[in-house]
Structure 1
Amino acid sequence: MGKNVQDETLRVVGTDDGHDTIKSCMGWDAAAGKWLYGYHKSRAVQGLEQVMAVSRNGSAGGAYATQDQRFTIADGQSLLRSLDTRMDNYALSPLNRTLVNHALADCGLADTPLYLVTGLPVDQYYRNGAPDAEMIDAKIANLATPVQRIGAGPGLAAIVKQGVISEAIAAFYDALIQHDGKFDEQIEKLISRRPVGVVDLGGKTTDIVVIAENVRSVYSDRSGTVNVGVLQLLDKVAERIKAEFQLNANPPLPYIEEACRTKKFELFGEEKDVGAIVEAAAREYLAQVQNFIVSKLGDGSDLGAVLFVGGGTALILSILGSDAFASLYKGRRLIAPEPEYANARGMWKYGTFVVSLEERAVLATGQPKASRTTVALAS
């Protein structure tokens, strides 16, 4: 009897390492009928802080060293002023690799050999219409750089091999490929006739990709990235709450995130209604997104549909509801289920169903290796 293929291949994990949140997908739990997710805010402070950092499995930890820098994970400590991830080359930074390693460990992947799939925004993944090998290799090298935990805590995952994909392309893979590897018939039929646009509302950026018919290529002149993200929306809400209640400083980001979800803000122990502030900021954010969509898609009448994904999509759904997306595109609109995880799911599906078994082989690994992909899929 032959060996089970899974015994010979690395475990696949898709990690959408965004500016606001690290979302991970570890696969489909067939017995429970659900996806296995990890969700960690992209929040850390420089240096070592005296904080209680307890992971989900009960082990203390949360401080890390990489090269000559040290970071303390700030998820759960709302009053810590964390580093702003909206820096140039965040994807290549020690901060990014620390946050990714922490997230993987906290997902229960300590000492687990992985084939890790991550992503890049459209404008960083592509250069002159083709995958930017230099940028992709630099991202691979960044996550291959060692990170060490300081103090007690679970071991870190072993990132043996890597793949990198455009984030919006990952979201399309998520829509097209089901958890068992079969194609979704409606999406397959749709893309066989017309291009499909993907709008990824992220923390720092908004990405647009237009997938060509039969998934043959990307229409590069209709695709792109703009620095309009939900972190700007949160900044605006914070500034207006500060002004409305005459505070000395902007409230901590976790409190603003809660205010956007609940439309309530706790001040001196009492709840205040901030629904009007939150909704106004959300509509202004959507107006900026709409301008970018029009600049790339025009009226979009030549597309079969537009798919909306990302943490920004989830946030707008909670604030304004699905009808708000009619202001962005008047044609057929598809909103991904659990849209904040669409990229991570698509990365897992790419690593599981698109990448060859040889690429994910455990044997003869050597140094962590990279893979990159075009958007073409075999039926």
Structure 2
Amino acid sequence: MQIVNDLKKLPPIWDQDQEVHDVFMDDGYDQNKVGYWGNVDGQKTLIGFKYATSAQMGRVFSSMNSSGSGIYDVDGMSYTVSEYVENEVSRNKGFAYSEFKGALIHHGLKLAGFSGKKVALSTTLPIGYYYKNGVADIEYISKVRDALQKPFTSADGSDLASIVPNMHTIQPESVCAFLAYVLRDDDAEEFEDINGSFCVCDIGGNTTDISVLVPGDEITINHNLSGSRHIGVLNIKDTLKGFLQQKFQVTNIPPAEVNRALTTGVFHFMNKANDVSDLVQSSLIMTAKRLMNYIDELVGDYSLNYIMFSGGGAQLLKTALRDVYKGAITTDTPEFDNLAGLALAKSL
């Protein structure tokens, strides 16, 4: 997978005239990750990129040319998607079938260049949402799928992508991360190298998924040792935002500024770059401790051969987690594990 950080440099779609295009989305509470097959110097290449999951009801911004870019309408309501709006996305199961999510997904498809094109979408759900009493919750999954068939329009007048209903597949997140590891380099024989229980801890924006899996002829999930809890990157950001508000005596800090402080350790305020690395570290430690308590509660005394950390939280907390969980596995790009797994699942 080729990860692109500058969205102005996204490669063109492979085979532009194809009737239906495969698009993969790990759509979370903090960031959406998008994957598609792009044309890189004549080679069909899986492209991955991310954008902030930040949306607010109403038309919050207007551009100088009044184009309405980033604003989406549905059923008489407008939604603004921008990293500079106060995020009103609900942090519960209802997010997965909300109009907020619909606007965010159409925004991602638009960024990738799929305006006016038909797409076969693959998306994810936390494992605690995907399963109910050990079996796939078909009613909930169908509700999530049906919500994306609402008639969204773009305020700038551009066509939006058409999500083909019977081609929209949904996968549990931590299982996708597992596939990304055991089928790395497209080598299906890697399944044979996994002996014993494999725990995947997928630390997302608002939920941490823990799944204990045993590979074989098919993937077996131990549901007694699997589940989801509301711990994730947003906890880190909420804590950091509170620290910043207290230190600088300011109430409204845009999500983009909190994210910048988290990734750089610098908070720009009143034309000054302020070192806040100590506040960042304290925010990371607080969430890491909550996360470790959850892991210990669910699988603490269970004999595991492998534990893998994936998701955006794994990227931020990898130092703290590796200090406690010796021999833990992480890929080079843990926040894109689910995306890679979705693409692999489509090819199986």
TM-score, reference length from structure 1: 0.80
- Whole-angstrom distance in 2 between the partners of 1:298 and 1:176: 23
1:36 and 2:47 are equivalent in the alignment = yes
1:43-58 matches, within 5 Å, as 43-52=54-63
- Whole-angstrom distance in 2 between the partners of 1:9 and 1:168: 31
| Residue aligned with 1:334, SS | coil
Tell me how far 1:87 sits from its aligned partner. Answer: 4.1
Equivalent position of 1:280 in the other structure: 282
Equivalent position of 1:25 in the other structure: 35
After superposition, the C-alpha distances for 1:160-206 in whole angstroms (9 at most, x for unaligned) are 12001101111111112245x43263xx2342x21211111111111
Tell me how far 1:233 sits from its aligned partner. Answer: 1.0
Tell me how far 1:88 sits from its aligned partner. Answer: 4.3
1:176 and 2:179 are equivalent in the alignment = no
After superposition, the C-alpha distances for 1:251-305 in whole angstroms (9 at most, x for unaligned) are 22211111111111112111111111110110110100001111111145x2221
- Whole-angstrom distance in 1 between the partners of 2:179 and 2:38: 15
- Whole-angstrom distance in 1 between the partners of 2:182 and 2:161: 29
1:101 and 2:106 are equivalent in the alignment = yes
- Whole-angstrom distance in 1 between the partners of 2:72 and 2:78: 6
CA 117–165 in structure 1, closer or farther in 2 if over 3 Å, else same: same
After superposition, the C-alpha distances for 1:118-150 in whole angstroms (9 at most, x for unaligned) are 111111100111111111111111112221112
1:165 and 2:165 are equivalent in the alignment = no
Equivalent position of 1:241 in the other structure: 244
The answer as to whether partners of 2:19 and 2:118 remain within 8 angstroms in 1 is no
| Residue aligned with 2:35, SS | strand
| Residue aligned with 2:206, SS | coil
Pairwise CA RMSD of aligned residues? 2.4
After superposition, the C-alpha distances for 1:195-254 in whole angstroms (9 at most, x for unaligned) are 211111111111101111324310001100111111111111111122123x13152221
Structure 1 regions of 5+ residues with no counterpart? 1-5, 317-321, 355-379
- Whole-angstrom distance in 2 between the partners of 1:53 and 1:175: 46
- Whole-angstrom distance in 1 between the partners of 2:182 and 2:115: 31
- Name whichever of 142-151 and 59-68 sits farther off: 59-68
The answer as to whether partners of 1:122 and 1:168 remain within 8 angstroms in 2 is yes
Equivalent position of 1:259 in the other structure: 261
CA 33–113 in structure 1, closer or farther in 2 if over 3 Å, else same: closer
TM-score, reference length from structure 2: 0.87
CA 50–276 in structure 1, closer or farther in 2 if over 3 Å, else same: closer
The answer as to whether partners of 2:56 and 2:88 remain within 8 angstroms in 1 is yes
| Residue aligned with 2:168, SS | strand
- Name whichever of 118-127 and 338-347 sits farther off: 338-347
- Whole-angstrom distance in 2 between the partners of 1:169 and 1:339: 14
Tell me how far 1:152 sits from its aligned partner. Answer: 3.4
- Whole-angstrom distance in 2 between the partners of 1:311 and 1:251: 21
The answer as to whether partners of 1:286 and 1:328 remain within 8 angstroms in 2 is no
The answer as to whether partners of 1:289 and 1:328 remain within 8 angstroms in 2 is no
The answer as to whether partners of 2:59 and 2:79 remain within 8 angstroms in 1 is yes
1:324 and 2:320 are equivalent in the alignment = yes
- Whole-angstrom distance in 2 between the partners of 1:61 and 1:157: 15
Match of 1:143 among 148, 160, 164: 148
The answer as to whether partners of 2:58 and 2:77 remain within 8 angstroms in 1 is yes
Identity of aligned residues (%): 26
Equivalent position of 2:291 in the other structure: 289
- Whole-angstrom distance in 2 between the partners of 1:169 and 1:90: 21
- Name whichever of 93-102 and 250-259 sits farther off: 250-259
CA 86–342 in structure 1, closer or farther in 2 if over 3 Å, else same: same
| Residue aligned with 1:259, SS | helix
Aligned letter for 1:37? G
Equivalent position of 1:363 in the other structure: none
Equivalent position of 1:372 in the other structure: none
| Residue aligned with 1:220, SS | strand
Tell me how far 1:314 sits from its aligned partner. Answer: 1.8
- Whole-angstrom distance in 2 between the partners of 1:49 and 1:243: 26
1:309 and 2:310 are equivalent in the alignment = yes
Equivalenced residue count is 328
After superposition, the C-alpha distances for 1:92-139 in whole angstroms (9 at most, x for unaligned) are 101111110111111111222221111111111001111111111111
1:63 and 2:58 are equivalent in the alignment = no
